[in-house]
Each structure stands twice: as C-alpha cells, then as structure tokens.
A and B are shown apart, each in its own frame.
Chain A
C-alpha cells in the first residue's frame, strides 16, 4: 500500500508535466489547427535561459521562475508574429513544417550556446521527503504537481472568467464571427502562442531537475505530451491535462508493478496504449465525434 501511494504521487507529478505540455499543444491546436512540433524545444530553450539566470547571473531560483515565464511568453508571441503569422494563408502542413524547422534550429542553437553536455539543474523544491503514515512523498513530486496544476488552473480561470480569455475561445471557435464583434483575432492568436510557450516553460523547469538539462531533454516528454493530448481528444484542454495525469500514473504503475517494463520500455508501452485507445475511441477520451451532413 505504501509503495502504491508513493508510485501514485510520483506518477501524478510526472503526469502533470506531460499534462502542462499537452495543454500547450492543445491551446495552439484549437486556435490554429497546427500541431507545434517545436513546443518541446521551446520549453527546453527557455529552461536553459532560467538555468543561465540562476547559475551564471546568481539569480534566486524563485525569482528566475517568473522571469523565465515572462521571457517564454514574449518568445511565444514573437514567434507567432515573425514566423507563424506570415504563413497565415499557407496550408497547415506548411506551418507544421515551419515548427519542425524551428525544433531543429532551437536544438542546435542550445547546443551551440550552452554545449550539449548534461547540466545539473537546481530544483525549486527541497530534496527531502515527507512521511505520512509510512508513506514517503518527496517534496519534488508534490511541488511539481502543485506548480503544474496551479499554472493550468490559473490559465483555466483566465479563459473562463476574463473578457480576453473568452474572446480567445470565441476566436478559436469562429474567427469570422469574432472579428465581426470587433475582436482583433490575430492579436489574440499571438497571445495564445505566448501562453502556450509559458506553459511549456513550466513543464521544462519542472522536469529538468529529474532528467538533467540537455538540449534533447524534452524530446521524449514531447512525445508523452502528444500521447496525452491525443488521449484527451486534442480539442479538449481538460482532456489534455487528465490525459497527461493518466499517462503519468499508468507509466509509473507499470514500471513499479510489471517486472518486464523497464524505463527503456516506458515510451513504447505509452505509445502502445495510445494506439489501443485510438482504435477503440478515435476521437480520444474527451474528444467529440463531429457528425456532419454531407
């Protein structure tokens, strides 16, 4: 039972990282129908920036965190304006190719600036653990879960309760109608990329202490995030977060209880499950099947 709870919390913590990156993917997909393949590398790059702020500029970890979020936000906005907006009339495939180009560019740039060597990334949380009734829960796990879910909740409240958040949802659903109501949709799209980049930065900074900082650190995480987003139905922000948590718990349970699933097998198993879910429910767990009259 102790092991079960420990595994559960660790899984939720991992899952919250997948979930926040998955949510970043869903935000952009809902607004533009583009899958941003560079989402992981954007997160990696901004995590390096936070690392440089902490280790090279002596900034405190807790100050570096919000500053990095702000930088990531500005980075996302700039990316939309400079790269994505000029391609607005191009096909979705063209934009997807541009994000893949960006993935490679950011990866190379990070190696060039900070060297491809593994770096130690200081955790925001103490390395000790917390014992309740014989169950040892690490602060790292609780902190990761809390920060990731907290950021997701803040974003959720923004979309639900603010005027701009509502306009962003409306603009994603029906851009033409939103523009007729005076909504500057291109401005809000840039804002959406900013939020997605900031959310990605959260996942990067949360995962870096456990996987260490390297230019390739987000590549497997991005695949888990894809899996989580698709599990959730790609169109559902709540689905993406729940998909991420479910995936995290499932993987940590499999490695803990199923002997032959080693960490090498985690990724294939995750994608195997993804395939099975898609065979049974092609629209994902929270996706809506759209029925159209033709």
Chain B
C-alpha cells in the first residue's frame, strides 16, 4: 500500500519538555490506523506534529509533500483534517455556520448534500447554536465539518472522550463508513484501545514519546502480553 502519511524520526517539544523522541510511522491510502497508549505517551503530540500545532523536527510527509515547515493553515490546505482534543467546535456559532467553516478552504459550491447523507439529523438542527448540542452530537458535527474539508487524511483525537459507550460506537461506525465509502484515510488517537482496534487495520502503541509496539490490529488484539502491558484490557 502506498504511504499517504509518512513520519520519519519526528521529534517535538513543548518549551524545554520533549514530548516525542524521533518516532516513525506511516498511514496508507484509505487505511485506518490507531495510535494507542497511556496518558502523556505522546499520542496527541503526534497528531499535533502532523497538523503543525507544535514545533517539530524530522520529516512529516503527506502525499510526497514535506510538511515539516508548514503551519496549521497550510497543512489543512494540503489535505489534513485534524479534529483536536475537545473537538474545536465554535460553540457560539450555529451548526450550519460550523459546517460552512469546514468548507472554508473549498472553492466553488459546497456539496452539503453528501454530508447530510452521513449525518441526516444535522439538517433539522442547522440553526441551533453548536454549544447546545450534546457531547456526542458535537463530536458528530466535528466529524461532518472535517469531512467537508474534503481531506486526504482525517485525524481524530480521542473521539470517545466523555461519551457514553453507545454514542462512542456510533461515532466509530460513522468513521468506518466514511473510510469504506469515501476511501478516507484515518489516524485516530484513542484511550479506548478495544474500540479503536475494532475500527483500525493497524496500530502503533506509544510509550513516553516513542513507539513501543506496532502491528496489525489483529496481532495486537491476540497478543495477551501486549494487551495487558500496554492496552489494559
């Protein structure tokens, strides 16, 4: 499989504190990859190193284009949709205005119809203030907005955070749907290893800023030693 996203020896730091120590990973075209690990292992920082919201060194390459010197605006325009921790919803804008912001970098008329195929309920809530949506609805809105960016790569940071198990499952169902029907590549950070491994084909387990283990979802799930040591279930 051709690599869509490639990280080679990527390091990142917050001031004096190093958060990533030279990690390398790939995400193939149309692939779902999970990034697992404990709190503070560097999962979020890995996504931020891709989107340019943290200072990084090494090579971040998307579709052959080197992004290491690009800021978040240009990374977004290159084709990465990053749904950050906390979802980055504009809570004081309406649902529809949030969606319009997703299409900000697109030229011409926006195809809202396709989005509504995946998220039909958004249509009746379009004039609602986004902050009044439930946590699950906000996560879905963030997904819909990211989809409107028409990205090559979708990056999700802990989509399950604060959601009920049933809602989490629904979120992952939509992510899988977008992957299978639209061919969207996904890099997802999760604490909930079990549900993430259910959706992903491969996974990397991070430990204190380095990759400890990687493999197919199947391998990681069936290896009891890895499960108890890193995934905790």
| A binding-site residues for B, Cβ under 8 Å | 163, 166-167, 169-170, 173-174, 176-185
Count of A-B contacts judged by CB separation below 8 Å: 63
> Known interface pairs A166-B100, A174-B90, A176-B53. Does A181 touch B105 (Cβ–Cβ under 8 Å)?
yes
Separation of A181 and B147 alpha carbons in the complex (Å): 11
> Known interface pairs A180-B51, A180-B53, A182-B149. Does A163 touch B100 (Cβ–Cβ under 8 Å)?
yes
Report B185-207 CB contacts with A as 1/0, cut-off 8 Å: 00000000000000000000000
Per CB-CB distance, the 7 closest pairs between chain A and chain B, nearest first, are A177-B88, A182-B76, A182-B105, A179-B72, A182-B77, A180-B82, A170-B90
Are B51 and A173 in contact (CB-based, < 8 A)? no
Are B92 and A181 in contact (CB-based, < 8 A)? no
Some 22 contacts from A to B, beta carbons below 8 A apart, are A163-B100, A166-B93, A166-B97, A166-B101, A169-B93, A170-B97, A174-B88, A174-B90, A176-B72, A176-B84, A177-B84, A177-B90, A179-B71, A179-B72, A180-B76, A180-B81, A181-B102, A181-B105, A181-B149, A182-B149, A183-B101, A184-B73
Are B73 and A179 in contact (CB-based, < 8 A)? yes
Closest to B97 in A: A166
A170 contact set on B, CB distance < 8 A: 90, 93, 97, 101
Are A181 and B101 in contact (CB-based, < 8 A)? yes
Separation of A175 and B183 alpha carbons in the complex (Å): 30
Separation of A176 and B88 alpha carbons in the complex (Å): 8
> Known interface pairs A180-B53, A180-B82, A182-B149. Does A167 touch B76 (Cβ–Cβ under 8 Å)?
no
Separation of A185 and B102 alpha carbons in the complex (Å): 15
Closest to B82 in A: A180
A181 contact set on B, CB distance < 8 A: 76, 101-102, 104-105, 145, 149
Instruction: Give the contacts of B65-115 with A (CB-CB under 8 A).
Output: 71-73, 76-77, 81-82, 84, 88-93, 97, 100-102, 104-105
Q: Point out which of A166, A173, A177 has the most chain B C-beta atoms below 10 A from its C-beta.
A: A177
A163 contact set on B, CB distance < 8 A: 100, 104
B145 contact set on A, CB distance < 8 A: 181
A180 contact set on B, CB distance < 8 A: 51, 53, 72, 76, 81-82, 84, 88
Min CB distance, B130 to chain A, in Å?
Answer: 10
Separation of A250 and B101 alpha carbons in the complex (Å): 41
